[in-house]
Structure 1
């Protein structure tokens, strides 16, 4: 009878029936973040109320009113008086008029509008696009997000949303009143760019 070598010893079995001692198979890693989730349908009360949005708009526009007001104040404060003397055969009279100075004209017509435009682009484009909230929205504790992703909409879309508000204003400002009865409290601009306003 020929001697045969004994079979190799097997390791202890794991609870799931697989042989122990081996290396577990590597887990597959995709390297991609999970897809953004759209905003689910919420009750109307879950969206930011119209009055809160109005307060945020007023707060956002305080710097605009101040800058333009200062520009016009400089225009009025730096007016120059120009006098002209008129002669006639029997009389002589002097006529004086107030005219804006070069500084005043530059302040009201150039410097102030440029500062306002810079502020609007920063506040509504950069700040709101990146965080979801302008200064006023932050103070009123709500944000603008995309219906499709639930995330802030970015610089370009935030500027586009502001431009779309011209449609809200063009129809006798009725577009701004839509949140009073709309199910998602959206303006027409919100509907065009698919955004909603939600509490922070």
Structure 2
């Protein structure tokens, strides 16, 4: 008995020929291409565009950039690398710049947080007793020769002795000019201040105030002597420990 011939489209055929069982009968259809039987696109999946371009609604990566995992890369930023600490968006920010996370606040002079000059209060203002002690030492240096000279010149009729007295008095005056104006103006210290570790400085600069401003400060001490010397006592309760002359001339007396 002869084997019956199957109708066209059934039975084994060449897999490269169209009309294969399980394939749509499109001429030239290759196995595995879209449209093959049993290989439909997934649910909700867009058909790939011609040339392998991304589907509708998908953003293409920028020129010269690789898209980062789970985020769109910014212009000029390498994907996948954490941003360095510092200012926002700045690459390679070194520690210590403003805006760095966890940066500690700066410290003013003498180790006081937020202190220092230029508007702040130094951390080691001189105590009132120390200032009185420095004044007493300076008064002895100036007052002893001046007192001796005044006593001699005012209690003798002898010309030679009177001249000696005047010399002592002028020596005391010269010591006052050198110690209070020149020495304190250029270094911030009289002899008495140096002995007790004190220094006169400008509130804005923290440096000695110069001879001219020191002279003006000495003149404004006249205000400290008014009303029972209340200006000299003002540092006892003043927050900045300043006399009236210090406030007028914007100066501090500090300890070293």
With the shorter chain as reference, the TM-score category is: 0.5 to 0.7
Matching of residue 153 in structure 1 with residue 209 in structure 2: yes
Give the alignment of 1:119-130 within 5 angstroms: 119-130=175-186
Give the alignment of 1:54-73 within 5 angstroms: 54-73=132-151
Larger fraction in helix: 1
Higher relative contact order (CA 8 A, sep 6+): 1
Conserved? CA contact 2:119–2:204, under 8 Å: yes
- Looking at CA atoms only, which structure, 1 or 2, has the larger radius of gyration? 2
- Secondary structure of 1:172's counterpart equals helix
| CA deviation vs aligned residue, 1:102-143 (integer Å, no higher than 9, x gap) | 2343444x4333222211111111111111111000000010
Larger fraction in strand: 1
Residues 69 and 113 (structure 1), Cα distance of their counterparts in 2 relative to 1, 3 Å cut: closer
Residues 37 and 75 (structure 1), Cα distance of their counterparts in 2 relative to 1, 3 Å cut: closer
Distance 2:204 2:187 in 1: 16
Residues 71 and 42 (structure 1), Cα distance of their counterparts in 2 relative to 1, 3 Å cut: closer
TM-score, normalised with respect to structure 2: 0.50
- Secondary structure of 1:65's counterpart equals helix
Residues 106 and 167 (structure 1), Cα distance of their counterparts in 2 relative to 1, 3 Å cut: farther
Q: Which residue of 1 aligns with 2:172?
A: 116
TM-score, normalised with respect to structure 1: 0.63
Query: CA RMSD for the aligned pairs?
Result: 2.2
Distance 1:54 1:144 in 2: 14
Give structure 1 stretches of 5+ with no counterpart.
Answer: 1-35, 80-99
CA deviation after TM superposition for structure 1 residue 72, in Å:
4.1
Give the alignment of 1:1-200 within 5 angstroms: 38=118, 40-42=120-122, 46-75=124-153, 79=156, 100-108=157-165, 110-200=166-256
Give structure 2 stretches of 5+ with no counterpart.
Answer: 1-115
